[in-house]
Amino acid sequence: MKHLQVDLKNALSFVNQDDFNKYESFAKEQNEKITNKTGKGNDFLGWVDLPNNISQKHLDDINDTAKALKEKSEFIVVIGIGGSYLGAKAVIEALSGQFEYLRSNKENPHILFAGQNLSEDYHFELLEFLRDKKYSVIVISKSGTTTEPAIAFRLFRKDLENRFGKEEASKRIVAITDASKGALRNLTDQENYKSFIIDDDIGGRYSVLTPVGLLPIACAGFNIIEMVNGAKEMMHIAETNFDGNPVFQYASIRHLFYTKNKIIEILANYDQRLNFMAEWWKQLYGESEGKENKGIFPASVSFTTDLHSLGQYVQEGLRNIFETVISVEKTRFNLNIPDDKDNFDKLNYLAGKPIDFVNKMAELGTTIAHVDGDVPNIKIILPEISEFYIGELIYFFEKACAISGYLLDVNPFDQPGVEAYKKNMFALLEKPGFEEETKKIKKRIE
Ligand code: PA5
């Protein structure tokens, strides 16, 4: 069976092989800190063995809950932000038929998201759209106190209660939160919502293989058991395969580039279904590495679309970037370029060829051009976009991210910088308990 692989052919030509070998052994050392739980943030390592620890009973509970919600709903609104949103959104977008949402006779409810921003218009329009629709809500907040999802949940809870009555509304709501702490936990216990717990030792951005990701993904009709199997497989590969270990290869080469002032990593895909995987990846790496004035800035592009926009910069802009391409080997469908006897568009040289053949040549041509333009290229080869391989990809990125954080000597599991905007926002909103901050900030903006 094929597995995710890393191809460093167009990356190693930019570095000295001995340096790479050195960094690969550093990566192995950092991995031991994860295994032995001796590194920074070691109380947040619950995700490491998670694929092996998920019981069939737990997966059945998630699938049964999804089934009950699906029976009641044409739409399911998933409320959450950051790590409580991006994983589910990324996986659902990667696995879904791209025009499925336009079908009227859908087999599974369409998954919509709320509380991932503070846009009044977004939430107004969503409530308006759902006015005559049957829908349910999955509210996700580990802390149970995050402002964006809390506001959205108040709106949608009230809407459900007004439309269906309190008792039926409570059957249309599933909460995913802490076992004992936070406002969402209190409300959940009080209203008797079905709930799932996010373990203390799993941070938001590492939580996609918990009910945080798995319940919305199951509601969208995807096979979460296969996804967990893929993650399990990558967990095994990452632990046992020391020669050509894709996790160590990726973590070490990107860190080596960073030491050579290549401080921006651009994650590229040639299949736009992976666009939101890139958003999830940006959060994972940005929030894990960007601290103490250190870290690679994670950016993303979708090719060939963006070759006609950001492609110019990648080719000829500042040379502080490297590129990581998620290259998907096999398409889901086959569509060949038709023959045309008039050949007005001069495309007959491609007649009979699959569109993906052109896409692959665009990818190869772009890689060569970027390498010539001094942009190193790391290639992550994914056999296909399926539940299993998305599971492999998720675990691969999580493990490599933790190792990368340790290579930088930061705690990859905290996010102290996220509090700065919250503190100012609460001061400006005059939240009770922020009286001193309110006085100070008002002076600054007078
Ligand atoms: O990765 C993280 O920990 C964060 O992005 C959180 O997921 C995000 O801030 C949402 O937090 P919560 O789930 O507590 O509402």
Q: Which one, of 38, 41, 8, 10, lies nearest residue 23 by Cα?
A: 8
Residues 106, 195 within the same domain: yes
In the reported structure, the alpha carbon of residue 392 is separated from the centroid of ligand 1 by a whole-number distance in angstroms of 23
Pocket-testing residue among 118, 142, 176, ligand 1, by greatest number of atoms within 8 A of Cβ: 142
Are 36 and 56 in a shared domain? no
Same domain, 250 and 361: yes
Q: Which of 199, 225, 251 represents a domain boundary (last residue)?
A: 225
Q: Is 372 a domain residue? A: yes
> Final residue of a domain: which of 225, 244, 279?
225
Q: What is the pTM of this model?
A: 0.97
Q: Is the pLDDT of residue 45 over 90?
A: yes
Q: State the maximum Cα–Cα separation within the chain, in Å, rounded to a whole number.
A: 77
**Looking at the 3D structure of the chain, how many domains does it have?**
2
| pLDDT number for residue 241 | 65
At which of 225, 260, 283 does a domain end? Answer: 225
* 155: number of Cβ within 10 Å: 17
Active site residue 422: yes
Marked catalytic residue, from 57, 308, 341, 443: 308
Q: What are phi and psi of 234, to 5 degrees?
A: -70, -35
Contacts 24+ apart (CB under 8 A), 363-370: 363/270, 363/303, 363/325, 363/327, 366/303, 366/304, 366/307, 366/311, 367/10, 367/325, 369/315, 370/314, 370/315, 370/323
Which CATH number belongs to the domain containing residue 142 in this structure?
3.40.50.10490
DSSP-assigned states of every residue in 27-42:
HHHHHHHHHHT-STTT
Query: Do 200 and 237 lie in a common domain?
Result: no
Task: Tell me if 350 is assigned to some domain.
Answer: yes
Set 24, 233, 287, 398: catalytic member: 287
Same domain, yes or no: 199 and 243: no
Mean pLDDT of 333-361: 98
Does 369 fall in a domain? yes
The three-point CA angle 274-329-389 to 5° equals 60
**HSE on the CB side for 441, CA within 13 Å?**
17
Instruction: For residue 349, name the pLDDT band (cuts at 50, 70, 90).
Output: very high
Asked if 135 and 57 sit in the same domain, the reply is: yes
Domain co-membership, 158 together with 283: no
Residue 389 covered by a domain: yes
Confidence at residue 106, expressed as pLDDT on a 0 to 100 scale? 84
pLDDT band at 243 (very low <50, low <70, confident <90, very high): confident
Range of the domain at 349: 5-41+227-408
The CA distances from residue 99 to 94, 269, 429, in Å, are: 12, 19, 41
Does residue 414 belong to any structural domain of this protein? no
Residue having the nearest C-alpha atom to atom 9 of ligand 1: 82
Q: Is-catalytic flag, 287?
A: yes
Helix (H) / strand (E) containing 63: helix 56-72
Query: What pLDDT is stored for residue 344 in this prediction?
Result: 97
Nearest residue (CA) to ligand 1, atom 3? 204
Least confident of 99-103, 194-198, 221-225, 281-285: 99-103
